[in-house]
Amino acid sequence: MYQWRKFEFFEEKYGGKSAIPDEVTGKIECCSSGRGKVVIGCDDGSVSLLDRGLKFNFSFQPHSSSVLFLQQLKQRNFLVTVGEDEQISPQSSTMCLKVFDLDKMQPEGTSNTTPDCIGILRIFTNQFPEAQITSFLVMEEAPPILLIAVGLSNGCIYCIKGDIARERITRSKLQVEGASAVTGLGFRVDGQALQLFAVTPDSVSLFSLHNQPPRRQTLDQIGSNVNSVAMSDRSELIVGRPEAVYFYEVDGRGPCWAFEGEKKFLGWFRGYLLCVISDQRSGKDSFNVYDLKNRLIAHSLVVKEVSYMLCEWGNIILVLADKSALCIGEKDMESKLDMLFKKNLYTVAINLVQSQQADAAATAEVLRKYGDHLYSKQDYDEAMAQYISTIGHLEPSYVIQKFLDAQRIYNLTNYLEKLHEKGLASKDHTTLLLNCYTKLKDVEKLNVFIKTEDGVGEHKFDVETAIRVCRAANYHEHAMYVAKKAGRHELYLKILLEDLARYDEALQYIRGLEPSQAGVTIKEYGKILIEHKPVETIEILMRLCTEDGEPANKRSSSSAYLSMLPSPVDFLNIFVHHPQSLMDFLEKYTDKVKDSPAQVEIHNTLLELYLSNDLNFPSISQASNGIDPSLRASSMRTKSESNRKVSAGNKGTNLEKDRMERCQKGLRLLKSAWPSDMEHPLYDVDLAIILCEMNSFREGLLYLYEKMKLYKEVIACYMQAHDHEGLIACCKRLGDSDKGGDATLWADLLKYFGELGEDCSKEVKEVLTYIERNDILPPIIVIQTLSRNPCLTLSVIKDYIARKLEQESKLIEEDRRAIEKYQEDTLAMRKEIQDLRTNARIFQLSKCTACTFTLDLPAVHFMCMHSFHQRCLGDNEKECPECAPEYRSVLEMKRNLEQNSKDQDRFFQQVKSSKDGFSVIAEYFGKGIISKTSNGTTGNTRSGGGSSQ
């Protein structure tokens, strides 16, 4: 033990040696501490309580004579004393035990410093004879139960258990081996088991108090003298002998420590062993504090004769024989570590912080300093061992920078591996570790790092970083392994396609994925796959977007099921440079699925592909081996001019032929996607018209305009193409008003020929035939329209004019005859009216018009020459029943015409929709509607009673 290092981890408090207060007048017999107090018992029967710094608080007189033993309880503020009192009877003992409640004070005169004595107990009785008390110990059980052990000089131990305040106690006696005095006691609680150590000069015994009767076990045949017994914080009994200090557990003697010298006092303080040792050779006493875990002497001090040793206020208190005291306290951890660091005792510092259970951050700081010390001595391996122990507390960049500068890649690799094992590595750490592996070309370690499975199923590194570094170092298989294990399908395919160009393997991998994952990967890398494997890629897309590959019980043609599948529209972007493949894919899809939710978008895309003039076919690219045709042509200038012309001609022929086929497909799509029973087509009409216009696809335009009943736009297409034959045929089909056509098309057609500026006599004659047949235009309009074409002669319309003139002459003659007839009828009516006004009527009817019986009086005659019995007429009948309906209908017609004359919109609508608007106006004049005007109030009086016209 002399080789143990000595340190000054403790220091004297309060400026060194302190004196016991003068208020303590008697000889000190016993001491105790607890609850922030030091209690001193004297031979005069007084007990004094001292505060922090050994300042006197108060004293009281618990016994009339000497106080032999006392103990301050920890759980409750009770003080237990053993002392001599006055003898009550000759048979009774003077030794008694008292319990004081220090929280309750009894008034005594003017003083209030005497605590309340809650219990007095005579230790010795007839069953428990009196002997000299050599040791005393109190253990607090559940309040208010106390367990008191009293060791005697005859080897007996009296145990008193119970509530002393209520005098509810039980007594028992234990006997150690032999008759030696009991010099030390120690309680041990192990779960529910309560045990008592007993030490005599000749033995060490253990009593199991939980057994009835208590069972004794001899642990050793050698004991110890008084005061050299203590208990550790692990409930071990510590016994000091001149040759060594022994530790005892329930199963016997444990470790021993060979500290030479007589052990006057033993104690235990915060894991330290306290010893007051007397050196027989020098005759001096020394006080030593031993750190048994770290095998060092934490403090050593030469002292005078020590009477008592206590621990309170976080300090060690030595009460000396001359009534002085030393307070020794432990230095803080920082001070102790500084002391060790100055001596470069880093190992001791590490053991110290670990043994005192310092926080992990403090331990890591000590390890860091030790590592820095080793690093400065270029002991890199040991330095790295210390740095690895700091992982989780020390910033990794601190260590990494050091070993990067020292170019110690092996040590750096080791540190980075530990970082990843503890899950504390960042993306940069993963990058650095993988770079270390690749730089060292350590494939075995790289395999272990990449492919080692962990129990949680999660990676201990950043997946994307590992893949990126492995790819950069051309470790593609490792990168693929990580990507596949992590389920990062897009990264796995990225390596296969971009780095390794293994397209077939990539396609096979995609086939094995779930449909949702396969769809994501196709969107990501479809462009590469379409470029190199178009057929296989389209096959996978068909499986994704249709029912192919699905279980039979899941297949359904319902729109609800189809809406759950990916739409072909989602994959259009991968065909951006391969329109031919896109056309093949969409054609296959439309052949397979007839009621897709995205059929409008699909049809729009197909129309754009079909009608495009400059579709870049893969066949051309393959023929050029991926080189632009112009560059390929320039590289072949050494060939003959004739060969180039033949090649270009063949290529142009193939392009034109393919374009014609696509246009036919486009026309079929326009027709099939707009069935006759649907109001709107399955494509965007406006887009289709724009595409047809942009690509000069007249057949599509004609179909769309005709389907939309835009007949004028239809003939405009023919006019633009100067297709006279088709123009006339179109007007024959669309200009028949009886079949729902627009007869005004003929007028537009005539206007077109009139402004054509070339000889079109044949076409004009044909047009005039239909205009004349349907009486579409007046002759004057026809003549004015055709007169603008200088290439047309009069012979073109000669026959038409002749027929029109003849027809007009006939109409004029018919109108003249009708006028004469209307004039004759008018004169007859006026004559009749005049006759009715001036001449009498003779009624000669002999029968009633209503009942056809002979007419008798009373009878009623009407001016219309109808006669009736008065009984055959109703009451107040003033109109002829026979003529009244006709007259009323005429009046109703007149009122309607007058009412209609006020409806201007209807009048103008009739004029606009009529072939001959003048006839409509004439009809309104003829019915006398428009001619009726109001002149207002005038002062002129017209003679002859004539009505205003």
The predicted pLDDT at position 631 comes to 35
More confident residue, 164 or 428: 164
Q: Reply yes or no on whether the pLDDT at 157 is more than 90.
A: yes
Structure tokens at 450: 């990449």
The one-letter amino acid at 96:
C
For 443-460, what is the mean pLDDT? 58
More confident residue, 613 or 69: 69
Q: Reply yes or no on whether the pLDDT at 454 is more than 60.
A: no
Length reported for the chain: 949
Instruction: Please report how many Cα atoms fall inside a 13 Å half-sphere around the Cα of residue 409, on the Cβ side.
Output: 11
Q: How confident is the model at residue 406 (pLDDT cuts 50, 70, 90)?
A: low
More confident residue, 938 or 842: 842
Radius of gyration of the chain (CA): 64
The predicted pLDDT at position 629 comes to 38
Percent of the chain with pLDDT over 90: 17
pTM: 0.52
Q: How confident is the model at residue 2 (pLDDT cuts 50, 70, 90)?
A: low
Give the pairing of strands 285-291 and 296-303. Answer: antiparallel
For 622-629, what is the mean pLDDT? 37
Q: Reply yes or no on whether the pLDDT at 637 is more than 60.
A: no
CB 276 within 8 A of CB 267: no
Q: Which residues pair with 257 in a beta bridge?
A: 245
Q: How confident is the model at residue 452 (pLDDT cuts 50, 70, 90)?
A: low
The predicted pLDDT at position 455 comes to 35
Q: Which of 44-53, 139-148, 638-647 has the lowest mean pLDDT?
A: 638-647
Q: Which of 89-103, 106-120, 173-187, 226-240 has the lowest mean pLDDT?
A: 106-120
Sheet of 28-34, strand order: 28-34, 37-42, 47-51, 55-60
Q: How confident is the model at residue 442 (pLDDT cuts 50, 70, 90)?
A: low
The predicted pLDDT at position 231 comes to 92
For 885-896, what is the mean pLDDT? 82
For 527-541, what is the mean pLDDT? 82
The predicted pLDDT at position 149 comes to 94
Q: Reply yes or no on whether the pLDDT at 87 is more than 80.
A: no
The predicted pLDDT at position 930 comes to 59
Q: Encode pLDDT of 709-725 as tens digits.
A: 887 887 888 888 787 88
CB 317 within 8 A of CB 335: no
The predicted pLDDT at position 604 comes to 86
Q: How far apart are CA 883 and CA 373, in angstroms?
A: 139
CB 755 within 8 A of CB 788: yes
For 403-417, what is the mean pLDDT? 80
Q: Reply yes or no on whether the pLDDT at 475 is more than 80.
A: no
Q: How confident is the model at residue 640 (pLDDT cuts 50, 70, 90)?
A: very low
Q: What's the Cα-to-Cα distance from 895 to each of 829, 920, 933, rounded to whole Å?
A: 22, 18, 16
Q: Encode pLDDT of 875-888 as tens digits.
A: 667 788 888 888 88
On average, the pLDDT of the chain sits at 80
More confident residue, 149 or 529: 149
Q: Reply yes or no on whether the pLDDT at 639 is more than 70.
A: no
Q: Reply yes or no on whether the pLDDT at 367 is more than 60.
A: yes
Beta-carbon contacts of residue 581 (< 8 Å; ≥ 6 apart): 530, 534, 537, 538, 575, 618
Q: How far apart are CA 681 and CA 320, in angstroms?
A: 114
The predicted pLDDT at position 383 comes to 86
CB 28 within 8 A of CB 323: yes
Burial state string for 379-397 with b = 16 or more CB within 10 A and e = fewer than 16 = ebeebbbbbbbbbeebebe
Q: Encode pLDDT of 650-682 as tens digits.
A: 666 777 788 888 888 888 888 888 887 788 888
Q: How confident is the model at residue 627 (pLDDT cuts 50, 70, 90)?
A: very low
Q: Encode pLDDT of 774-803 as tens digits.
A: 777 778 887 887 887 778 777 778 888 888
Backbone φ and ψ of 836, nearest 5°: -65, -30
Q: Reply yes or no on whether the pLDDT at 137 is more than 70.
A: yes
Report helix, strand or coil for 668: helix
Q: Reply yes or no on whether the pLDDT at 559 is more than 60.
A: no
Q: Encode pLDDT of 800-826 as tens digits.
A: 888 888 888 998 999 899 999 989 989
Residue listed under structure tokens 């331990």: 363
Q: Encode pLDDT of 849-859 as tens digits.
A: 888 888 888 88
The predicted pLDDT at position 147 comes to 92
Q: How confident is the model at residue 37 (pLDDT cuts 50, 70, 90)?
A: very high
